[in-house]
């Protein structure tokens, strides 16, 4: 084997090694959460890291669904972007962020759940030309990572949602259901029941008044009859 052949074989091997090292890096270029772990029940600062665009197109918008395990979640400002917080989503619009550049989108939140549980933040990345990527897939425990996994945080401690917040969420859900179905809410039912009790009380009072009136009339009649009989004698 001459030197030229050895050189070609060496370069081929080196190229194969470099290519193999690059493939995992490209496959793992997902929307990441930083940090990936956080305590429960305490306000924490987190951020989404956007590593690339949509198939080469620049990123123009990030929309994140607020999970039920999160509270007091607020989008933080990013230079060149408009941050917006609603009860359901966090949104950043602006840029555009070129495909080869990375940007962090910070926010604050208080997370709830058991230690070791994972809180997912389903995210939709929108890009120029109408392209978009939905990072919404769950990664099964011990399983293979999906193509578009949702960024997530693993809880390092446990904290339950406060009872007052559970009640507020229940009331909001009931009101929302009433608006959608036309059914009365629990508070409306309670109000109606109260009104029924009042009507029943008023009816009973009226009956007692009638009975008392009849009794008084009967007694008065007996007195009059007794007087007439006494005068007749």
3 pLDDT band (50/70/90 cuts)? low
Residue 7, pLDDT > 50, answer no
| CB contact at 8 A, 103 and 51 | no
Share of residues in the chain with pLDDT > 90 (%): 50
Flag the least confident range among 77-86, 115-124, 192-201. Answer: 192-201
1 pLDDT band (50/70/90 cuts)? low
pLDDT of amino acid 165? 58
Q: CA–CA separation, 83 vs 76, rounded Å? A: 6
Higher-confidence residue: 233 or 19? 233
pLDDT of amino acid 195? 38
Higher-confidence residue: 9 or 163? 163
Q: What is the pLDDT of residues 91-112, one digit of tens each?
A: 999 999 999 899 999 999 999 9
Q: Give the HSE-up count for residue 135: Cα atoms under 13 Å, Cβ half-sphere.
A: 27
- 173-189 mean pLDDT: 35
Structure tokens at 39: 């305590």
Could you give all domains of the chain from N- to C-terminal order, each with its CATH number? Answer: 28-160 (2.60.40.2230)
Residue 19, pLDDT > 90, answer no
Share of residues in the chain with pLDDT > 70 (%): 58
Q: What angle do CA 33, 36, 37 make, to 5 degrees?
A: 145
- 210-224 mean pLDDT: 48
Residue 214, pLDDT > 80, answer no
Instruction: Give 62's contacts (C-beta < 8 A, 6+ positions apart).
Output: 48, 50, 90, 91, 92, 105, 123, 124, 125, 126
Whether the full predicted model's pTM is greater than 0.85, yes or no, is no
Q: Which helix (H) or strand (E) holds 120?
A: strand 118-120
Residue 115, pLDDT > 80, answer yes
Per residue in 102-118, is it b (16+ CB within 10 Å) or e — as a string?
ebebbbebbbbbeeeeb
pLDDT of amino acid 164? 61
Residue 178, pLDDT > 50, answer no
pLDDT of amino acid 108? 97
Residue 219, pLDDT > 50, answer no
| CB contact at 8 A, 63 and 120 | no
């Amino acid at each position: 084997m001459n030197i030229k052949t050895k050189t070609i074989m060496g370069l081929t091997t080196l190229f194969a090694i470099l290519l193999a090292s690059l493939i995992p890096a490209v496959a793992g270029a997902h929307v990441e959460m930083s940090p990936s772990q956080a305590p429960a029940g305490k306000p924490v600062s987190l951020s989404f890291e956007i590593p690339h665009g949509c198939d080469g197109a620049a990123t123009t918008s990030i929309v994140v669904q607020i999970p039920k395990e999160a509270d007091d979640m607020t989008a933080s400002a990013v230079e060149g972007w408009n941050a917006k917080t609603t009860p359901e989503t966090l949104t950043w619009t602006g840029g555009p962020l070129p495909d080869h550049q990375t940007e962090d989108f910070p926010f604050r939140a208080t997370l709830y759940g058991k230690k070791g549980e994972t809180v997912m933040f389903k995210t939709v990345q929108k890009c120029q030309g109408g392209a978009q990527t939905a990072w919404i897939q769950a990664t099964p425990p011990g399983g293979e990572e999906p193509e578009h996994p949702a960024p997530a945080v693993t809880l390092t401690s446990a904290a339950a949602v406060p009872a007052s917040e559970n009640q507020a969420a229940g009331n909001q859900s009931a009101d929302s259901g009433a608006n959608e179905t036309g059914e009365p809410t629990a508070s409306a039912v309670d109000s109606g029941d109260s009104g029924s009790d009042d009507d029943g009380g008023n009816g009973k009072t009226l009956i007692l008044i009638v009975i008392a009136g009849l009794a008084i009339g009967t007694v008065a009649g007996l007195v009059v009859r007794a007087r007439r009989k006494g005068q007749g004698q």
